[in-house]
A and B are shown apart, each in its own frame.
Chain A
């Protein structure tokens, strides 16, 4: 939301001079602009936060208005922000004495709580660019597309007693519509809110679907348990009769192989090696490894550490929970918020120590950067968003990667079929791996095109969506097989599962190739 509202930026006092770069601190030391305690922390519109909800928000906002002084009456005195940007002053533009400003209260025209999406809905001019970018609408007639799920459904909801349409559960949260929209309608935010409301208010909590989705969304919980006995878990979860039962009882497709659990998690490895090997107060990053690099592919996390230490960074590994991506996609916003609170608390502390936050999973970085500030208002969440980067992106900004790669080459020639995850695409990162390795001797990286892999996190892990998921992925599978490389590459763990599932290829992360070329 805040991305699109200039007023917000001004209100937070971050209006730097034209062209100022807030990426590393201009005077040498990183300066996270941690907001003052007491900033208004709004609850989400569709999912009121129990316990710390209305009461806390009310007292906080009162506190902040007292602290900030009376200079900004529109920002602090009003019980809610104006709903339609700029018309809260009824005298504006009119000098008629017949109009009584007090008779107009646009705040009450559309009473929708604190998180107001009207601005975004009004920006939609129905060009359907979102619909043409939607990978689900291409294969699923039942899915009426992002334009309906976003602005149209939002408008319908302005009337009373309209349920959220069940088709919202078919949105895979790939967020391609965000990148397609020429008018910056916050489509994925609308989808997330609608899905949250649907799950909260309309979904049967004892239904198999809800239980299954909750399990899928809380992958971290399952993974943590499974990692206690990784070999047994890897075996048991792919044990034929068990998989048949899961399909029948839970709706988890038996065609898919569960990822193997690492015998040593990333965090165990980190602890055993004694933490950071480089200390450098001037170059510090906090690694958000996410669940998958920790429990399933610690080699990605290790590559991250080795590459960053090679470039002289001190790596911090703060305590962390799930980024929330699978929870958003399943409308489990309460779960996501709980995890977000832990993450923000720990990451903001690292930022205070001068670190920027680095994620190796593009869905994790997407979540911290965009969904967090869009969906939650937790103390410091904007700063986490502003200080988060994808691992390769950050190096490309701050280090001379081209120089480092100029004379590098892998031990053996390597050839990859690279797929850019939708969530990388949405951060403007779809081409960075291809660009980085384009001129490296002994490395071929072929972009297999702009199609979606089709798995979209947990979407492809549902029996009723499995076939659609594979139909979406078909184009990518074909292009992978056309490519010279016999190894796949992507930043996203679930895209990697789908690539492996569809082609049988092994899949690597660009950080692993970077480690192989630069560090080795």
Chain B
């Protein structure tokens, strides 16, 4: 006896969730399993589609021979990427031919974003236009992104109102004044100043970000003053810190905070702070620990529940069994073998999970959907083919910001997202791949990770549901 469902999605990130909801909306009985709690909590919470077109050819041809030969004499040079792109959709045709966007098409990205908008409702903005928004991020740079949390809305860089950036001495990974300087250096069209205020000092030095968020959620008294009031009081004296080009000083109209303004009640926290400060309040998306990521995780898992998807975390896929009937029998299209069930590890006990179609959305090298060692790069769940140069020296180029071949490693699928084997044939007819496990995109340089997950997740989920109906 196995735990059965029609569609089994492996992976709890954006690609897996999108695939599961897409399949469920097509009427398939769908289950999502993930090895660990979702790593969305490590993500910024921004939904990027395509921000840059990185060069795929060096400025001058790479020298012959292994890259390490003459490294210091003859470094390779790569042109700056094209961007930031105003419109992610129009640039898709200029991506490499085997890019996932080229496989599934610009419409898949559009529909993936539509689905996302539908799932998160008014918690996210940016869906009113095809164009990218420019959102200041944690490092003081400005990032082109397709959707951003409502909490970041007042901070977007195309807004010309003067802004104050607030920081805290005890948050060592973040310096408000440096941040403001970097924004100014990036040429933003508004005046900006950074100020370090006394608030987090009321907590012990190694209090966690979640502690600050919880205190604001609950409006806990900080030395007798409610937390939100205490924070507003600390910021108050700095509202005139911004100096404009002529040396004049204006009261700022918006104030940016590191993203810890509440976990369960962020809108309420922002509204009260805005009220007390007489200025709009926004959050600056951060690296981990990321409250916007945690909130997105909550939103999307609620959406999974609403869509009727069954889901569980803590169960890694550790094996599989192919259909005993042999390849291609029941699918009718004669493509490859068929997976009968996956084997999940339940704290040491192995339990079969049967499915008619499987979506593999296990992530890339960071998410451990791809595994690597000195011998090569592998896809560990179904042992799918991952094309790669045999010589490890061809996995990378010298310039850290160059076209790194390893960044595009991954499973190569056909346009229906069925994984291909070494000879270019469909490996498993009832498997679809989605998200970062799919090769061909350099999502870090392109700023395309979420978009690729949404587009491929949507197609993979629909395809899986179609597989079930056949």
Contacts and interface: CB of A to CB of B under 8 A. Distances in A.
A369 B319 CA distance: 20
Contacts of B204: 141-142
Interface string A351-394: 00000000000000010011001000000001001111100010
Contacts of B60: none
B173 to A, nearest CB: 10
A465 to B, nearest CB: 16
Interface string B190-211: 0000000000000110111111
Interface stretch (B275-283, B304-312, B421-429): B304-312
Contact of A19 (B3, B203, B314, B343): B343
Interface string B339-355: 00101101111111000
B314 A132 contact: no
A179 B349 contact: no
A430 B346 contact: no
Contacts of B320: 18-19
Contact of B214 (A128, A138, A430): A138
Interface stretch (B36-44, B244-252, B326-334): B36-44
Contacts of A386: 348-349
A427 interface: yes
Interface string A112-146: 00000000000000011101111001111110110
Interface in A137-159: 137-142, 144-145, 148
B289 A128 contact: yes
Interface stretch (A36-44, A211-219, A296-304, A396-404): A396-404
A139 B212 CA distance: 9
Q: Chain B interface: which size bin?
A: 35 or more
Given A138-B211, A141-B203, A148-B206, A131 B351 contact: no
Nearest to A369: B347
A481 interface: no
A239 B313 CA distance: 43
A454 B302 CA distance: 22
Nearest to B204: A141
B211 A129 contact: no
Given A18-B320, A475-B264, A400 B1 contact: yes
A127 B211 CA distance: 17
Contacts, number: 138
Given A182-B42, A182-B367, A427-B347, A19 B321 contact: yes
B264 A22 contact: no
Given A127-B42, A179-B36, A435-B310, A138 B367 contact: no
Contact of B211 (A3, A137, A447): A137
B223 to A, nearest CB: 13
B15 interface: no
B347 A179 contact: no
A21 B211 contact: no
Given A129-B42, A139-B214, A425-B314, A21 B288 contact: no
A158 B141 CA distance: 39
Given A182-B36, A431-B311, A22 B211 contact: no
Contact of A447 (B305, B319, B347, B349): B305
A428 interface: yes
A449 B351 CA distance: 26
A131 B210 contact: yes
A67 interface: no
B294 A179 contact: no
Interface string B33-51: 1001101011000000000
A13 interface: no
A397 B351 contact: yes
B315 interface: yes
Contact of A23 (B289, B314, B351): B351
A429 B313 CA distance: 8
Nearest to B352: A21
Nearest to B366: A182
Given A144-B206, A393-B346, A399-B1, A179 B314 contact: yes
A324 B448 CA distance: 48
A397 B1 contact: yes
Nearest to A402: B4
A386 B349 CA distance: 5
B265 to A, nearest CB: 11
A28 interface: no
17 contacts: A20-B350, A23-B349, A23-B350, A127-B39, A132-B209, A132-B288, A138-B210, A179-B36, A179-B313, A180-B41, A182-B39, A366-B347, A397-B2, A400-B1, A428-B33, A431-B311, A475-B264
Interface of A: 3, 18-23, 127-129, 131-134, 137-142, 144-145, 148, 176, 179-182, 184, 366, 369-370, 373, 382, 385-389, 393, 396-400, 425-432, 435, 447, 450, 471, 474-475
Which 4 A-B pairs rank lowest in CB-CB distance, beginning with the nearest? A19-B319, A428-B314, A141-B204, A369-B347
Interface of B: 1-3, 33, 36-37, 39, 41-42, 203-204, 206-211, 213-214, 218, 264, 288-290, 294, 301, 305, 310-315, 319-321, 341, 343-344, 346-352, 367-368
